[in-house]
């Protein structure tokens, strides 16, 4: 049965309504899109999430409890539990068990930037791109632990070619082309409120990425999972492309994951205030779940303990360690583990039955997305480990204001200043704690506090901080 016949039988025959008007190239492209779609899966999603009363059932969050987490001590080097976790994580890195995994399908549209978000310049002096920052952190980790630490990058159909071209242009930042692997994120068709697939044009289905939760099955479909298994890699360090502060392979985090026998672990950031826009780590019975900030009721986010501290304080920052065998269980055929799709109601550009563009003054359809944190309830012994904002989280999402390129560059300088202060360097700071003269430290010199301090002591640099300083 060919695709056209299958879509006709499946009640989606209108996808090919303009077939005879298309040239050979557009016909081939449309068939390629159609072959991406699992019609049986789509029919189930339409039935469960779009039609009738079975639309993402309401959840009573009042029975949810704050999830426990491993708190970060004031001095990591004096806490034996953390020291031991670090030793275990470093052993895993030296043993070649770890790969870095970046979700990088986004474009820089919200930043006012035309291109893949990973190619956006973000450092305060050298103007290194997000991808270069991660690449240098990976290079530094390889050198420190004498390991390969391969890098898997999930792109989207919109930016795949541009991303690969960017890496080729920059000679893969000296990582070695064979150690950096790209694969595309999966896509799902958008549908109207009757479940009919929307057409972006006469020869193009309205397709959209299937969410960061689609990363796990994309690893499998793109061949990355099989490659990891063949190389003896059993730990995946997952992070998103818009966060240059992230530790690409944190030994402490890896160690806590390994010693607890966890299948999936997450970092948490203490919320700065009740309504901060972070997902909440919660216990639903004995299941660990992340509840979106838009879903959790105010009565829970405002709850405090006897000391006045927020009870639901553990915020999700999309940093995980996932065991490769766990991913294999999720993606295997007939797996009992199935990440749910969520519906997102949107204005979706499309054409009508005559092929003319529709005027949209209200949402007209539904997109389907999966969230990677929905794997947590299925994981054995999940662990949550505390982190800090400067040490791990300063995302670049907006053109101005909070979580912007400007705020991120300021946070980088605060971080670098804190490392220097630890080594006795006194800098002139503004009222906001930012050095009056710009500072940038290359990850190749120091990618975290420990590696920086080691390099600083070994190199014994004489630096004039009365002007902008780049330390490489």
Q: What is the pLDDT of residues 397-407, one digit of tens each?
A: 999 999 999 99
Do the domain assignments include residue 24? Answer: no
- Check: CB of residue 163 under 8 Å from CB of residue 135: no
Do the domain assignments include residue 30? Answer: no
- What are the backbone dihedrals phi and psi of residue 426, each rounded to the nearest 5 degrees, phi first? -100, 120
Do the domain assignments include residue 14? Answer: no
Claim to verify: residue 127 and residue 222 sit in the same structural domain: yes
More confident residue, 62 or 427: 427
Grouping H, G, I as helix, E, B as strand and the rest as coil, residue 237 is strand
pLDDT band at 471 (very low <50, low <70, confident <90, very high): very high
Contacts with 315 (C-beta within 8 Å, 6 or more apart), sequence order: 268, 269, 270, 271, 276, 278, 279, 280, 281
Do the domain assignments include residue 120? Answer: yes
How confident is the model over 233-284, as pLDDT tens digits?
A: 999 999 999 999 999 999 999 999 999 999 999 999 999 899 898 999 999 9
Q: Measure CA of the first residue to CA of the last residue in the chain; give whole Å.
A: 60
Claim to verify: residue 458 and residue 311 sit in the same structural domain: no
How confident is the model over 430-451, as pLDDT tens digits?
A: 988 899 999 999 999 999 999 9
pLDDT band at 335 (very low <50, low <70, confident <90, very high): confident
Claim to verify: residue 152 and residue 84 sit in the same structural domain: yes
Beta strands 98-103; 151-155: pairing state:
parallel
Grouping H, G, I as helix, E, B as strand and the rest as coil, residue 342 is strand
Q: Which of 352, 369, 397 is the C-terminal boundary of a domain?
A: 397
Claim to verify: residue 125 and residue 84 sit in the same structural domain: yes
Say how many domains are in the chain. 2
Claim to verify: residue 326 and residue 456 sit in the same structural domain: no
CA dist 340 and 325 (Å) reads 20
Claim to verify: residue 369 and residue 452 sit in the same structural domain: no
Give the domain CATH number at 89: 3.90.550.10
Contacts with 194 (C-beta within 8 Å, 6 or more apart), sequence order: 50, 51
Claim to verify: residue 215 and residue 141 sit in the same structural domain: yes
Claim to verify: residue 384 and residue 430 sit in the same structural domain: no
What's the pLDDT at 431?
A: 87
Assess whether pLDDT exceeds 90 at residue 77.
no
CA dist 297 and 364 (Å) reads 28
What's the pLDDT at 62?
A: 80
What's the pLDDT at 325?
A: 97
- Check: CB of residue 246 under 8 Å from CB of residue 387: no
Claim to verify: residue 318 and residue 416 sit in the same structural domain: no
- For residue 314, the enclosing domain spans 37-397
What's the pLDDT at 52?
A: 64
What's the pLDDT at 360?
A: 92
Assess whether pLDDT exceeds 60 at residue 55.
no
Mean pLDDT score, 412-425: 95
Claim to verify: residue 200 and residue 289 sit in the same structural domain: yes
Do the domain assignments include residue 17? Answer: no
Do the domain assignments include residue 12? Answer: no
Q: Which of 377, 397, 417 is the C-terminal boundary of a domain?
A: 397
What's the pLDDT at 255?
A: 98
Q: Which of 397, 415, 445 is the C-terminal boundary of a domain?
A: 397
Claim to verify: residue 342 and residue 447 sit in the same structural domain: no
> What mean pLDDT value characterizes the chain?
94
Do the domain assignments include residue 1? Answer: no
How confident is the model over 113-170, as pLDDT tens digits?
A: 999 999 999 999 999 999 999 999 999 999 999 998 999 999 999 999 999 999 999 9
CA angle 64–253–391, rounded 5-degree value: 95
Do the domain assignments include residue 8? Answer: no
More confident residue, 312 or 52: 312
Assess whether pLDDT exceeds 80 at residue 54.
no
pLDDT > 90 fraction of the chain, expressed in percent and rounded? 86
* pTM for this prediction: 0.93
Claim to verify: residue 211 and residue 175 sit in the same structural domain: yes
Beta strands 207-209; 187-189: pairing state:
antiparallel
Give kind and range of the element (H or E) at residue 273: none
Q: Which residue has the tokens 């299948």?
A: 263
């Amino acid at each position: 049965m060919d695709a056209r016949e299958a879509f006709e039988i499946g009640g989606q025959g209108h996808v090919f309504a303009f077939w005879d008007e298309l040239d050979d190239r557009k016909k081939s492209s449309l068939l390629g899109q159609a072959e991406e779609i699992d019609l049986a899966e789509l029919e189930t999603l339409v039935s469960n999430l779009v039609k009738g009363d079975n639309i993402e059932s309401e959840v009573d969050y009042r029975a949810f409890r704050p999830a426990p987490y491993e708190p970060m001590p004031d001095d990591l080097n004096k806490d034996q539990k953390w020291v031991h976790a670090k030793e275990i994580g470093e052993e895993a890195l030296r043993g070649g068990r770890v790969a870095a995994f970046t979700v990088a399908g986004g474009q820089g549209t919200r930043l006012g930037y035309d291109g893949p978000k990973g190619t956006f310049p973000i450092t305060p002096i050298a103007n290194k791109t997000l991808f270069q920052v991660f690449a240098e952190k990976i290079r530094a980790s390889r050198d420190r632990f004498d390991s390969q630490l391969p890098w898997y990058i999930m792109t989207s159909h919109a930016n795949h070619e541009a991303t690969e071209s960017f890496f080729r242009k920059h000679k893969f930042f000296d990582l070695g082309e064979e150690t950096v692997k790209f694969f595309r994120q999966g896509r799902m068709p958008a549908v109207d409120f009757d479940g009919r697939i929307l057409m972006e044009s006469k020869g193009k289905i309205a397709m959209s990425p299937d969410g960061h939760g689609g990363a796990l099955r994309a690893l499998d479909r793109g061949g990355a999972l099989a490659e990891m298994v063949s190389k003896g890699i059993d730990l995946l360090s997952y992070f998103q492309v818009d966060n240059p502060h992230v530790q690409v392979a944190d030994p402490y985090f890896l160690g806590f994951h390994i010693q607890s026998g966890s299948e999936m672990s997450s970092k948490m950031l203490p919320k700065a205030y009740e309504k901060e826009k972070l997902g909440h780590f919660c216990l639903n019975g004995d299941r660990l779940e992340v509840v979106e900030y838009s879903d959790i009721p105010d009565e829970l986010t405002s709850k405090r303990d006897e000391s006045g501290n927020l009870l639901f304080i553990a915020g999700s920052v999309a940093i995980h360690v996932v065991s490769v065998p766990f991913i294999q269980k999720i993606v295997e055929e007939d797996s009992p583990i199935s990440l749910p799709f969520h519906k997102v109601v949107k204005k979706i550009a499309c054409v009508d039955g005559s092929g003319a563009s529709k005027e949209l003054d209200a949402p007209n359809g539904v997109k389907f997305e999966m969230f990677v944190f929905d794997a947590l309830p299925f994981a054995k012994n999940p662990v949550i480990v505390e982190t800090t904002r400067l040490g791990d989280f300063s995302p670049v999402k907006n053109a101005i204001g909070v979580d912007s390129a400007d705020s991120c560059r300021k946070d980088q300088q605060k971080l670098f200043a804190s490392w220097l202060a630890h080594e006795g360097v006194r800098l002139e700071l503004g009222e906001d704690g930012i050095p009056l003269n710009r500072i940038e430290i290359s990850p190749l010199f120091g990618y975290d506090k420990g590696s920086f301090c080691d390099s600083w002591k070994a190199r014994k640099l004489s630096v004039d901080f009365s002007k902008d300083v780049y330390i490489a």
